[in-house]
Structure 1
């Protein structure tokens, strides 16, 4: 085999150096790698010394299997990046995110940049590492490069706002290199505010069921309204309402029982209706008038 000239050797070394050193990371909003570099995130392992080195075979998050290891790109030396769960990673407010900024330690021919986000139904309370099924199938942002290298730094502006989400979610960024078999990967933790839908649903299912009590309260209110034939009739019987309140205050234990629908129904059966009270009033007035006529 013919020996290489000095010029060819220099060119080959420069080319290989470019392949090896063609690295980068997202610094805004801060990715997990960058947070480890800055010391914002703790217990990061080796990635804190080389946040630009998350380089692995193309295809993540969908085309090749690395479920549970997406944030480390399946690289065992960076396994700490796959830790997951509420409070494990510092988050950035999603409302402050209007672009994604990369820092490159070397530039390389690029196919595109793609950004994926966890599904709205994703359970943010899980401690399992991220899997392909956790993400929307389509990226919410694609930046084509057509084989051109990026500058030393590059910002990708959002043409529209981030997808609508609630609570904690993760963005998965992919930088696909054009003339190698590799790509670079970054995980970004965002807080959209509010609670995560699936986590909230789980919390609701474990909480005491108050729907029956609410229904009973609604029914009781309707029944109380129906016992008063009209606003005028209700106004003519304030003593009945006052008496009811006084009884409740005098006996707090019975007041607790009255929160039950059956107890309220029993109480209403014992209490005279507005029409009976009105009839009693008419009778008293008639009797007093008769007595005055007799005395006259």
Structure 2
């Protein structure tokens, strides 16, 4: 009986690992710098997600973990299939950060306004995408919220953002980059990125929280072909 209980416990652990960590075949990607909301939560708390300190140290991640842990375990799967380039029809106002509440609402906590952990960036910066599965990209569209938008209290709408960068195709790789000019924006903003993957009609919708300064800094990564 003890041996059966041990085998059952081992099987439960193995099943749990498959649920928590997507296999390489299922892997996709996200914005890595400035980091997207759910990828940032996974980076900071993935190995410590039961720590009650998260509630005070990182309250937006805390509410996200409580709502649906798979939004973080599957940080690389915030996409919609078959959009056909009509992103505004597929993703209604107020749901941009969850990709129109894709995957049955798995990522809906990403739409919640609040004090998300923000990355400090200059007004001119380089945005990086981590493509775990090397899907390639037909294009990247990068938007930034208009001055006056308050991510602490407002859900993101299409009318709140302006496109500041667009690219051509990228050959399959693990990292893609695009130079972004946020103009005269200062303070807290949301960078909203659409990554149209090349392997199929699969569009990723990625929200990154930033705090704009006027200090120039450029990091390196692969540019489009």
TM-score by length of 2: 0.64
Map of 1:145-160 to 2, 5 A cutoff?
Answer: 145=169, 148-158=170-180
The structure richer in strand per residue is: 2
Q: Counterpart of 1:24?
A: 29
Q: Counterpart of 1:72?
A: 98
Relative distance call for 1:117 and 1:96 in structure 2 (3 A) is closer
**Given the alignment of the two structures, is residue 183 of structure 1 paired with residue 183 of structure 2, yes or no?**
no
Q: Counterpart of 2:218?
A: none
CA displacement 1:11-67 (0-9 Å, x = unmatched): xxxxxxxxx736111111221122111126522332221211011143575343422
Shift of 1:191: 1.1
CA displacement 1:182-236 (0-9 Å, x = unmatched): 2011111011269xxxxxxxxxxxxxxxxxxxxxxxxxxxxxxxxxxxxxxxxxx
Q: Report the structure number with the largest CA radius of gyration.
A: 1
Q: Which runs of 5+ in 2 are unaligned?
A: 1-24, 46-57, 215-225
User: Are the counterparts in 2 of residues 26 and 101 from structure 1 also a CA contact under 8 Å?
Assistant: yes
Q: Which has the higher contact order (CA 8 A, sep 6+)?
A: 2
The structure richer in helix per residue is: 1
What SS does structure 2 have at the residue aligned with 1:36?
helix
Total equivalences in the alignment: 166
What SS does structure 2 have at the residue aligned with 1:62?
helix
2:164 to 128, 140, 143: 140
User: Are the counterparts in 1 of residues 139 and 166 from structure 2 also a CA contact under 8 Å?
Assistant: yes
Relative distance call for 1:176 and 1:22 in structure 2 (3 A) is farther
Map of 1:118-137 to 2, 5 A cutoff?
Answer: 118-126=145-153, 128-136=154-162
User: Are the counterparts in 2 of residues 92 and 189 from structure 1 also a CA contact under 8 Å?
Assistant: yes
User: Are the counterparts in 1 of residues 135 and 173 from structure 2 also a CA contact under 8 Å?
Assistant: no
Q: Counterpart of 2:140?
A: 113
Q: Which runs of 5+ in 1 are unaligned?
A: 1-19, 195-296
Shift of 1:125: 4.5
Q: Counterpart of 1:244?
A: none
Q: Counterpart of 1:264?
A: none
Map of 1:279-294 to 2, 5 A cutoff?
Answer: none
Quote the Cα distance in structure 1 between the aligned partners of 2:79 and 2:193. Answer: 12
Quote the Cα distance in structure 2 between the aligned partners of 1:83 and 1:60. Answer: 24
What SS does structure 2 have at the residue aligned with 1:39?
helix
